Structure 1
Amino acid sequence: MAFIEKSEPAAPRAAEAVSGNQLAAELAETLKLAVPLALTQLGQIAMMTTDIAFIGRLGSDTVAAAALAHTVFFVSFTFGMGLVSAVSPLAAQAFGARDPRMMRRALRVGLWAALFMALPLMALPFHGEAILLALGQAPAAAHLAQQYLFGLVWGILPALWFIALRGFMSAVNRPEPVLWITLAAIPANALLVYLLLYGKWGAPEFGLFGAGLATTLVNLGTFVAGVWFTARRQPFRKYHVFSRIWRIDWPLMGKLVAVGAPISLAFLLEYGMFGAAGLLMGLISTTALAAHQIALQIAAILFMVPFGVGMAATVRVGHAVGRCDPAGLRRAGYVAVALSGAFMSIMTLAVIMARFEIAAIFLGEATDTTARLTATLLLIGATFFIADGVQTTTAGALRGMNDTQLPLLFATISYWLVGFVSAYALAFRAGYGAAGVWIGLSLGTAVYATLLILRFRLLARTLLP
């Protein structure tokens, strides 16, 4: 009897050990994907920061024009990026199902979709000056912004093609080449911007057009490098993704659009809300707008890590869907969300503790009005940062299940009916000013994260038998 009493707990402990081993294995696989992807995103931020640093030497008017140009460009590019991002879940599901033919088809249809989308997307940057003038921007700034856009616009297609290749590489658990390419692109971008912006070492001095052209050349180079890896290096080579590439798979194209278009629209809703928040800050004061931009830049840097984890979640969940593994699906999603939540919690604590020092880095003096307001917004952002990390990772997990349409509805409700309305009401009706705008952003993001988690829980129980 005593033997039985001692032996009975053994089975639960064994089950817990197996579960613990599975969670540890899932965490290791998620990190293996997420770390290169997150570092790649940080590399993109590094290139943008380098561009602004070089452009800043031409004066504040030029920096303002570049900011306007980026606004126009990213509205256009974001739509294409969301559509091509659908390559990742489609290829990941095919990898989980051990269907190499479908993996080839997913990448090829993504490349074709990028080509079809790039041509109309280029129309917006080509008419950037007219758009900015219609929005009430100063003619001189709009004209300078158009020069930058003339250089940037040609990079849309190779950049979208590179995103498709990145999705394919991630789907086969090999995102490292994307990171290597990005790391090589950072100094190459800096050199090209330096040469073409200022006309150094015998290069023509193109000004803002040269800075945009440098970005285009770097986008083209990263795409060419991605093609070389995909066609020539294992394990990508064995999939023969470029064979018969001239054949367009229209049925799969329709599926990619059905999955990717809601991703694009959700990205635009999110991007639009933060743009609208900037406009609200501009109505409050220039001090509020400056503090908002600094706090938002910190949020953007922190966001890159959970965004990379979200891309890893898309792949890991897609693999589980492909092999019809409901337990693996749940494990992949929850581990990724927990990883993002833990990272953002640590970073949020660090930002809160160093908020005055962060303001001083950007502004020089931590005691002026703008610096104090920046520190206040970073403190309010404590809940925003965590919710933002959770929402992007959960959205990535849902994309792994091709679930993008209901999250689009959630984005509309959360970002605009809750977030923007709350930001406006708290800032102007309740009199909280800039703090009210950030409270509204935090509320909208928290609602979005909550709805996405509930959606994932529901689908994780019902999607697979």
Structure 2
Amino acid sequence: MSELALSADATPVIENDSAGESTGSPRDDSWWGRPGGGREVLTIATPLVVSSLSWTVMTFVDRMMLNNWSGGAMAAAFVGGVLWFAVICLPLGLCSYVGTFVAQYHGSGQPERIGPSVWQGVWATVAVTPLMLAPILFSQAGFQAAGHTPETVALETTYFDILCWGSPAMLASAALSSFWSGRGKTWVVMIVDSVFAGLNLLLDWWWIFGLTATIGGETITLFPAAGIAGAGWATVVSLWLKTFTYTFLMLSPRNRAEFGAGVCGIDRPLLRRVLTFGFPAGVQMLLDVLGFSAFILIVGRIGAVEHEASSLTFSLNHLSFMPVVGFGMAASILVGQHLGENRDRVAARATWTSLQISWAYMALMSMAFIFAPGVFLAGFFQTEGVSGDAAHRAAVASTAVVLMRFIAAYNMLDAMMIVFVSALKGAGDTRFILFASLVMASLLALLTWMAVEVFGFGVYGCWALISLWIASLGTIFFIRFQLGYWRSMRVIERTPIVEAEALSAE
């Protein structure tokens, strides 16, 4: 098969055996100092890990607060949140893919194309906004079809509907943040995301449990105790404020002059390329989330304890895989930048370095999940007198302890999946990613349904199934990366510099 078969826009380039390293200073070939080594990866990845953790900690504490409001609210927020993400993940994947264009334009020395690329993601957000709000009309019927109790359906619907009003902000901020992350200025993303994650937590506390103030002897309610609805509105407000902040920062005079940040019109050829490569990336994200959502909904049919324990454990799972998402994003950025520079060997090295660091982190988290599960569960069961009897909550906790061992078992392969799929996206190999995800997500949904409805599997059997699914995905993307088709792929147009290099090589 031709290396261009999977991408009509892929551009073959001449491999640079020396990896393009000509700095005039002594070359550092150590794991730490070489191009694509530990220093470069950690410089890009550390702020992204902090940014990912800020979102993870926010959702973790959010659900912990809701669990102390009621266990049902926590489970409903998890399911509602997962399905909300399923609704937005296709356009989110598309808008986030703008970062690959920014990285490759940055690497190829075309800064004036960066601003227009980001704005194509914003225009895509505007186009899909009506579609992001439409699910509000059908959400209740969808949750009822899952077979959940009326009380659970009411909570899930409330949370999901509120989050939908934050969907356009989520998409726009993903595109706007690519202006910095694609150029390797990930510390800006870290600061902005962390500030608004902190604001979200503060609003969560006030809006879930209520906030009052006494002024002149009179008690005034500043925030009503709104429970799960308050948690939803706290997220929406924080998302919109973050979007406005990114827009304001990007439109600075310096960014307008250097990166074309003020060139905000629709660039049809560029938008077409963003859609060509970004749409498969978005569909891949959608398929993975739909398969995962189907798993959660079907497991919820087994029983209330199994439903709450699975929701709680997947919330804990965010603590292990979300930082690795940060390393995956770094791999995607560095692959894009180094391919833009015509340095595919350095791109491969950066990917392997990202995986090595991710494995070290995952190993630590796996040991913690096995040997100290109580540390992670304590926050969910710390408040006395909350709704739900003690026996039920004890059963949820004991089930969650076992489920955490499944996470520990598949963590390393989960890291492989995240890092390799991110690297492939950074090159533009999105069509293969789409095909693989279509097959695997369909299998997960089908096999989970058969496990519960046909063979009568319990919650542990279902978790063994999803563990095998993650292991299979990690293996598939590892093999694809090793085949090397991605090395000749580009998402941006050929530049005169690249043409001149090709001619001189001939």
TM-score > 0.5 by shorter chain: yes
Q: Is the 8 A contact 2:146 2:297 kept in 1?
A: no
Is 1:352 matched up with 2:370?
Answer: yes
Kindly indicate whether the alpha-carbon contact (under 8 Å) linking 2:49 and 2:322 is maintained by their aligned counterparts in 1. yes
Q: How many Å apart are 1:388 and its aligned residue?
A: 1.1
Q: Which amino acid aligns with 1:184?
A: V
Looking at structure 1, the residues matched to 297 and 307 of structure 2 have their Cα atoms a distance apart, in angstroms, of 8
Q: How far does residue 59 in structure 1 lie from its aligned partner after superposition?
A: 4.0
Return the offset for 1:379: 2.2
**What is the CA deviation profile of residues 342-395 of structure 1, one whole-angstrom value per residue up to 9, with x for unaligned ones?**
221232123222236545664579995544433332223333111112111111
RMSD (Å), alpha carbons: 3.2
Greater displacement, 365-374 / 102-111: 365-374
Quote the Cα distance in structure 2 between the aligned partners of 1:341 and 1:193.
33
* Structure 1 counterpart of 2:413, one-letter code: A
Per the alignment, residue 169 of structure 1 pairs with 180
Alignment of 1:241-390 (within 5 A): 241-245=260-264, 247-355=265-373, 358-359=376-377, 362=380, 369-390=395-416
Q: Give percent identity, aligned residues only.
A: 24
| Residue matched to 2:459 | 434
Of 385-394 and 250-259, deviating more is: 250-259
Q: What is the deviation of 1:432?
A: 6.0
Q: Is the 8 A contact 2:417 2:473 kept in 1?
A: yes
Instruction: Give matches, 1:33-52, under 5 Å.
Output: 33-52=44-63
> Would the aligned equivalents of 2:79 and 2:311 in 1 still touch at CA under 8 Å?
no
Q: Does structure 2 retain, via aligned residues, the 8 Å contact 1:356–1:372? A: no
AA of the residue aligned to 1:300: H
Alignment correspondent of 2:429: 403
Is the deviation greater in 446-455 or in 190-199?
190-199
Whole-angstrom CA distance in 2 between matches of 1:250 and 1:115: 15
> TM-score of the superposition, structure 1-length normalised?
0.85
Q: How far apart are the structure 2 equivalents of 1:143 and 1:192?
A: 22
Name the CA shift for 1:199/1:361 in 2 (closer, same or farther; >3 Å): closer
> Deviations 1:271-296 (Å, cap 9, x if unpaired)?
22222222343343433333322322
Alignment correspondent of 1:239: 258
> What's the counterpart of residue 86 of structure 1?
97
- 1:295/1:194 Cα in 2 relative to 1: closer, same or farther (>3 Å)? closer
| Mapped partners of 1:357, 1:53: distance in 2 | 13
Tell me the amino acid that sits aligned with residue 311 of structure 1.
Answer: M
Is the partner of 2:243 in helix, strand or coil?
helix
Q: Which amino acid aligns with 1:44?
A: W
**For residue 69 of structure 1, what is the aligned residue in structure 2?**
80
What displacement does 1:321 show?
A: 1.1
Residues 113-163 of structure 1: CA distance to partner in whole angstroms, max 9, x if unpaired?
111122211111354224333444445544454444454332221221111
Change (3 A) 1:304 1:64: closer
Q: CA, structure 1 residues 433+28, in 2 after alignment: closer, same or farther (shift >3 Å)?
A: same
1:4-15 correspondence runs (5 A)? none
Question: Which whole-Å CA distance do the structure 2 matches of 1:300 and 1:326 have between them?
Answer: 31
Aligned to 2:235: 215
Describe how 1:418-429 pairs up with structure 2 within 5 A.
Answer: 419-420=444-445
Tell me what 1:11 maps to. none
Q: Which residue of 2 aligns with 1:9?
A: none
SS, match of residue 331 in structure 1:
helix
1:226 to 246, 249, 253: 246
Q: Which structure would you say has the larger RCO, counting Cα contacts within 8 Å and 6 or more residues apart?
A: 2
Displacement of 1:316 after TM fit? 0.1
Mapped to 1, the partners of 2:42 and 2:362 lie a distance apart of 15
Q: CA 1:434–1:132 in 2, change beyond 3 Å: closer, same or farther?
A: closer
Unaligned runs of 5+ in 1: 1-14
State the distance in 1 between where 2:479 and 2:114 align: 30
In 1: Cα distance, 2:223 partner to 2:373 partner: 42
Q: Relative to structure 1, is the Cα distance of residues 131 and 293 closer, same or farther in structure 2, using a 3 angstrom cutoff?
A: closer
Q: Residues of 2 paired with 1:371 and 1:204: CA distance?
A: 31
- CA drift at 1:107: 0.6
Change (3 A) 1:151 1:423: closer
Can you list the C-alpha shifts for 1:177-209, whole angstroms capped at 9, x where unaligned? 221122222332233344555363443638355
Question: Is the contact between residue 377 and residue 397 of structure 2 (CA under 8 Å) also seen in structure 1?
Answer: yes
Distance 1:440 1:52, change over 3 A: closer
Task: Looking at secondary structure, tell me which structure has more helix per residue.
Answer: 1
From the superposition, tell whether residues 359 and 456 of structure 1 become closer, same or farther in structure 2 (CA, over 3 Å): same
Q: Residues 84 and 163 of structure 1 are in contact (CA less than 8 Å); yes or no, is this contact kept in structure 2?
A: yes
User: How far apart are 1:21 and its partner, in Å?
Assistant: 6.1
Q: Is the 8 A contact 2:36 2:346 kept in 1?
A: no
Alignment partner of 1:452 out of 477, 497, 500: 477
Q: 1:275 to 1:345 in 2, by over 3 A?
A: same
Q: TM-score, normalised by structure 2?
A: 0.79
Tell me which amino acid in the other structure corresponds to 1:85: S
Say if 2:116 is the partner of 1:105.
Answer: yes
Q: SS at the partner of 1:40? A: helix
Distance in 2 (alpha carbons) for counterparts of 1:31 and 1:352? 27
CA distance in 1, matches of 2:178, 2:324: 16
Amino acid in the other structure paired with 1:95: H
